[in-house]
Amino acid sequence: MDNKPQETRQLHHNSSTSPWRKTASYVSMMLLGAGVAFSGSNLATRMHSSSISTPISPAIAAPIPTTDPNFVANVVERVGPAVVRIESSRTVTTRVPDVFDDPFFRRFFGSQIPRTQQRVQQGTGSGFIISADGRILTNAHVVDGARSVSVVLNDGRRFTGQVLGTDPVTDVAVIKIDADQLPTLTMGNSDQLRPGEFAIAIGNPLGLDNTVTTGIISATGRTSNQVGVADKRVQFIQTDAAINPGNSGGPLLNARGEVIGMNTAILRGAQGLGFAIPINTAQNISNQLIANGRVEHPYVGVQMVALSPELRQEINSNPNNGLRITEDRGVLIVRVLPGSPAARAGLRAGDVIRRVNGQEAATAEVVQRAVENTRVGGQLQLEVSRGGRNVNLALNTGAFPSQLQSQN
């Protein structure tokens, strides 16, 4: 959890890593996703509120019959004007290799060799308008570190965008442009999605504006660990609609043209595997960003993994890990961050969480969701097995440390 997360584009593991570390997920850590395309660096192949629910244009909100063979085209005509391209730039600093400190090079170049070099990276992502006065929803990684953001509307108009707030933990950001009477999108309900439903993605992949791809909802509730971004706190929507670099921040729509998700991640080397942040999650986060400019996430500070008989045997057969496990089920605490809420509550590495708030802790995701469902400062009741005996602990969550968020 204190290590920098792997990017979505690198969803593979070192074969030398032990199995229980491969499956470890972080309670304290939270998309980086995969859709903003940066020159020289491809980041892609790396939660209804009044503030958003502004009056919707009837043309966009109108239901679209799926019996019409051209229903996709109708959706695109209705929602396309509210999908935007986001152009950003950021300064990247790199250190000059130490070899240039060698007297041999100093002999020729003297003291003129700089210690660092800077270059500007240009990136392109997608977004969609959520209020007629110019609020736009996109991914945090689309605008991360950007010194300037330009927003290009479907009609060609260009605006300078102000970043109202970003949340690296969920990969959600809100931008504001100085405009009014803009077309907006209708929000759907991502909690009611079922695998097999139709899905439409619109965005600007690889600089190709207003690209439309279609598919289905392949699955819901994909954990961040399954997607390969263990630092995020999102239950992703999986879709087979094509998502490419530059699609990040664009809308995922249902057959009625309602937004059900925000496209954000792809798996490098995979085909038909795209992921989106549920729109209910994105709305919740964006409302907080609009109101406060930031989001507080409950934080515990442990690294954990679900136990199985095979994993128990693997751990106990390794004399170097210092752990001796007597349980076959539950969630093993692999590591506790010093000074964290977990440490203050008395959790230790090697503890096995059996129940959280009275619910059986069969997987790490059960514990993760229990943490997410508390407020900062809220209390969790844990039943823990320690060395074969039961221990009951009360743990008060803390706020996710900002220095850890900055590492996302």
For residue range 284-339, list pLDDT tens digits in order. Answer: 999 999 998 888 888 899 988 888 888 888 888 887 777 778 888 899 998 899 99
The pLDDT score that the predictor gives to residue 159 is: 95
**Of 25, 57, 141, 231, catalytic:** 141
Establish whether 12 is a catalytic residue: no
**Of 144, 171, 231, 351, catalytic:** 171
The pLDDT score that the predictor gives to residue 119 is: 63
**Of 126, 190, 218, 248, catalytic:** 248
Strands 148-152 and 83-95: antiparallel
The pLDDT score that the predictor gives to residue 46 is: 35
The pLDDT score that the predictor gives to residue 157 is: 93
Low-confidence ranges of the chain (pLDDT < 50): 1-59, 61-64, 406-408
Q: What is the pTM of this model?
A: 0.69
Establish whether 126 is a catalytic residue: no
The pLDDT score that the predictor gives to residue 100 is: 55
- Do 117 and 96 meet the contact criterion of CB atoms below 8 Å apart? yes
The pLDDT score that the predictor gives to residue 312 is: 86
The pLDDT score that the predictor gives to residue 40 is: 33
Pick the CATH number of 298-405 from 1.20.970.10, 2.60.40.740, 2.40.50.140, 2.30.42.10: 2.30.42.10
The pLDDT score that the predictor gives to residue 95 is: 65
Rounded to 5 degrees, φ, ψ at 33 are: -85, -150
- Do 259 and 169 meet the contact criterion of CB atoms below 8 Å apart? no
Establish whether 141 is a catalytic residue: yes
Catalogue the E-assigned strands of 288-344: 298-299, 302-306, 331-336
- Distance from chain centroid for Cα 265: 8
The pLDDT score that the predictor gives to residue 104 is: 57
